[in-house]
Amino acid sequence: MALLITLTITIILQFFAAAVAVKLTRVTKYNLSWILISFGFIFMAVQRLAELLPFIADVEPQTYRLFYIWLGAITSLFFAGGVFLIQKIFQYMKEVEMQTRNQEKALLNAIIQAEERERRRFATEIHDGLGPLLSTIKMSISSLAANEANDANLSVIKNTNIAIGEAIKSVQEISNNLSPHMLKNFGVAKAIRNFINKVNQSKGLKVTLKTNALDIRFPEGIEILVYRSVCELINNTIKHSEATKVEIDFQVRNSLIELKYKDNGVGFDTQNLFADKKDSGTGYFNMFSRIKSLHGTMEVFSNKNKGVYVIITIPANEK
pLDDT at residue 51 greater than cutoff 90: no
Q: What is the pLDDT of residues 297-311, one digit of tens each?
A: 999 999 888 899 999
CATH of 180-319, one of 3.90.1150.10, 3.30.70.20, 3.40.47.10, 3.30.565.10: 3.30.565.10
pLDDT at residue 177 greater than cutoff 90: no
| pTM score, whole prediction | 0.59
How large a percentage of the chain has pLDDT more than 70? 88
Chain centroid to Cα 299, Å, comes to 13
pLDDT at residue 122 greater than cutoff 90: no
Q: How confident is the model at residue 196 (pLDDT cuts 50, 70, 90)?
A: very high
| Neighbour count for residue 156 (Cβ, 10 Å) | 15
Helix (H, G, I), strand (E, B) or coil at 294: coil
138 close to 167: Cβ distance less than 8 angstroms: no
Q: How confident is the model at residue 211 (pLDDT cuts 50, 70, 90)?
A: very high
Q: Give the span between the Cα atoms of 226 and 290, in whole angstroms.
A: 10
Q: Which of 25-29, 165-169, 218-222 has the lowest mean pLDDT?
A: 25-29
pLDDT at residue 101 greater than cutoff 90: no
- What pLDDT is attached to residue 72? 82
Q: How confident is the model at residue 59 (pLDDT cuts 50, 70, 90)?
A: low
- What pLDDT is attached to residue 18? 77
- What pLDDT is attached to residue 250? 96
